C-alpha cells in the first residue's frame, strides 16, 4: 500500500515538473517574440517619434498594396499611425532568394 502511494506521488511530482517546464518555455518564447516585435517596431520607426506612419510601413514592406492592406488591418483606432500596442509581426522578413542560375 505504501509503495503504491509513493509511486503515485512520484508520478504527480514528475507531472508537475513537466508542466512547470512547459510553462517556463512558453513564457520565454513569448518574451522573445515581444522583444523581436519591439526591435522591428524601432527599426521601422525611422523618424523615432514612437509611432509608425503608413509611409514608414510601406517602405518596410517594399510593396505599396501589401503595406497599405497590412497597415489598415493593424491600425485599430484609425488614427493613421501604429503604436506598439497595435503593431504585430505576423511574419518576420526573410532574405530574398537569389535568382536561379
> What pLDDT does residue 72 have?
93
Residue 82: what are its φ and ψ, rounded to 5°? -105, 130
Q: What is the pTM of this model?
A: 0.54
pLDDT at 71: 93
Q: What is the mean pLDDT of each run of 10 residues along the chain (101 residues)?
A: 73 73 61 60 90 94 93 93 84 48 52
The CATH-assigned architecture of domain 2-82 is: Orthogonal Bundle (1.10)
pLDDT at 14: 82
- CA–CA distances in Å: residue 31 to residues 34, 35, 44, 95, 96: 5, 6, 20, 24, 27
Domain ranges of the chain: 2-82
How high is the pLDDT of residue 57? Answer: 93
- How many other β-carbons are positioned within 10 Å of the β-carbon of residue 41? 19
Amino acid at each position: 500500500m505504501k509503495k503504491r502511494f509513493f509511486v503515485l506521488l512520484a508520478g504527480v511530482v514528475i507531472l508537475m515538473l513537466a508542466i512547470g517546464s512547459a510553462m517556463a518555455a512558453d513564457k520565454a518564447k513569448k518574451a522573445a517574440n515581444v522583444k523581436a516585435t519591439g526591435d522591428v517596431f524601432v527599426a521601422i520607426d525611422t523618424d523615432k517619434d514612437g509611432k509608425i506612419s503608413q509611409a514608414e510601413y510601406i517602405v518596410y514592406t517594399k510593396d505599396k498594396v501589401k503595406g497599405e492592406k497590412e497597415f489598415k488591418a493593424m491600425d485599430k483606432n484609425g488614427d493613421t499611425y501604429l503604436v506598439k500596442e497595435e503593431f504585430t509581426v505576423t511574419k518576420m522578413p526573410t532574405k530574398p532568394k537569389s535568382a536561379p542560375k
